Amino acid sequence: MLFPTLDFGLFFLPVLLLVWTVGQASNEWRKIILLLASWIFYGAWDWRFVLLLIASAALNWGCAQAIQRRLDDGRSAQPWLGLGVAANLAILGFFKYFGFFIDQLAPLLVKAGWGRDLPLIEVILPVGISFFTFQGMSYLIDIARRQTAPATFLDTTLLMSFFPHLVAGPIVRASHLVPQFARVPKLTRGMVATALILICWGLFKKTVIASELATGLVDKAFFDPTAQSGLDLLAGAYGYAVQIYCDFSAYSDMAVGLAALLGYRFPRNFLSPYRSGSLQEFWRRWHISLSSWLRDYLYISLGGNRGGVWFICRNLMITMLLGGFWHGAKWTFLIWGALHGGVLAIERLWREWRPAGLPALPRPLAILIIFHIVVAGWIFFRADTLDGALAFFTQLWAFRPGVALASPLLCGLIAFGLAIHFTPPALLPALGRRVAAWPAPLLGLATGLAILIVDAMRFEGVAAFIYYQF
């Protein structure tokens, strides 16, 4: 079930009605309704994986209890923490990376006479698995670091299964959500207004900008770069930067909005990432819940900023390489991670050794340079194979004349997708306050109208969100 579909609407409206009627009477029933709804939502992809989700929640709940007991007894939490993290990693590893390693080993296995068994050990990837295993791990680490207290079984299961964030994030931590589960939430006008704005805005970004750029430009440019002109490839690369932003941030906006309509607040996941003047700043604005996860649980565990400058560079590189690998077991993702890790390390070294008195780059120029580094990374990220990515760069360098794909409409969408990065940061709350003052029937009518307008503007069908596969 994808958010921007009628199916999802038909699923969401009864859930909304139930939680604000039956769910008002008892907080426990409210959470049970949300839990069942989440399993139905997830089960719409594949029922079997609902069991995996429940097993994973039970595992993390059990480990959390054991860790807390050891801490209460004044003993080290390490054995249970290690076991819990290893179990989460094992689930993630089996479903996500098993295939990659089997593929790499395939020639050896064939040589050993096991070639016939290869198709049998192929594994289907459950949707959103990396999001809920990451949530599980951070939950256990937070408890071991005494930053959060273990939640009840119901709260733990709901934290991990809550459908707005289940399949493509944002990564919601126990400290974000469990305190909100403590009592029946109150829905305020500001919350409803902000939620509806986010949902409509997300629908527009996803179904109009991202889908249009994907089908009209990006997919064609990346399908066979050797057949395209230089300008088309350049537009394709910029187009993908706008597409992936509009696609992913739209999912996050809708997730935040849907959760808010149910009475819960999520962390924001994007903050105009392409207006960053350094790559470090980019990662404070892009997929914030993942980058802060990597910072708090991986980078800090590696030693963080505690050592010398080379030690910090090593940690940055490892963190970004693993961040790349998290996206999938492909060389293109590893190169993407290495590029980001490398540039982050160079930024760090430059800060250390920058000659005194050298004037800083003007901010617009810095933004332009960082944007192009990010775009270069996206070419690896988007290309299906390493050869495909290299062909893209070679053809772009050759810059063959002509324009076939980059129509004025598509270029306009790219310009629009970049221009929205430069709106004032407080625009959303300002709009929310204005909309909150509207009478409820007007707000309902305006939402319906906005959805109809977006529907009229969009093209046939809705492509899956890019981040579903991660």
Partner 1 sequence: MKPLADVFAESLMIDAASVTDDLAYQSIKEWDSVAHMVLVTALEDNYEIMLDADDIVAMSSVAKVREILAKYDVTA
Query: Which residues form the interface with partner 1 (CB under 8 A)?
Result: 172, 175-177, 179-180, 182-183, 185-186, 188-191, 193-195, 260, 265-268, 288, 425-426, 429-430, 432-433, 436-437
Is residue 118 within 8 Å of 147, Cβ to Cβ? Answer: no
CB 433, min distance to partner 1, A: 5
Between residues 185 and 216, which has the closer beta carbon with respect to partner 1? 185
CB 156, min distance to partner 1, A: 17
How far apart CA 339 and CA 346 sit, in angstroms, is 10
How far apart CA 363 and CA 365 sit, in angstroms, is 5
Structure token digits, residue 160: 């991990």
CA angle 96, 115, 123 (to 5 degrees): 20
Is residue 39 within 8 Å of 158, Cβ to Cβ? Answer: no
Cβ neighbours around 429 below 10 Å, total: 14
Q: Which of 176, 287, 327, 340 is flagged as catalytic?
A: 327
* Amino acid identity for residue 440 in this structure: A
Structure token digits, residue 376: 């270069």
Between residues 425 and 441, which has the closer beta carbon with respect to partner 1? 425
Between residues 62 and 190, which has the closer beta carbon with respect to partner 1? 190
Counting Cα atoms < 13 Å in the Cβ hemisphere of 44 gives 15
C-alpha radius of gyration, the chain, whole number: 23
CB 192, min distance to partner 1, A: 9
How far apart CA 185 and CA 176 sit, in angstroms, is 14
Structure token digits, residue 467: 């981040």
CB 399, min distance to partner 1, A: 43
Is residue 133 within 8 Å of 84, Cβ to Cβ? Answer: no
CB 407, min distance to partner 1, A: 37
Between residues 116 and 183, which has the closer beta carbon with respect to partner 1? 183
Helix (H, G, I), strand (E, B) or coil at 374: helix
Between residues 202 and 225, which has the closer beta carbon with respect to partner 1? 202
CB 262, min distance to partner 1, A: 13
Cβ neighbours around 468 below 10 Å, total: 15
Map tokens 């005494």 to a residue: 146
Between residues 35 and 259, which has the closer beta carbon with respect to partner 1? 259
CB 64, min distance to partner 1, A: 17
How far apart CA 17 and CA 410 sit, in angstroms, is 40
CB 389, min distance to partner 1, A: 34
Would you call 327 a catalytic residue per the annotation?
yes
Q: Is residue 240 classed exposed, middle or buried when 0-12, 13-18 and 19+ CB atoms within 10 A define those classes?
A: buried
Task: Give me the torsion for CA of 232, 237, 243, 244, rounded to 10°.
Answer: 160
Between residues 152 and 394, which has the closer beta carbon with respect to partner 1? 152
How far apart CA 27 and CA 203 sit, in angstroms, is 31
How far apart CA 90 and CA 347 sit, in angstroms, is 34
Backbone angles phi, psi at 161, to 5 degrees: -105, -10
Residues taking part in catalysis: 327
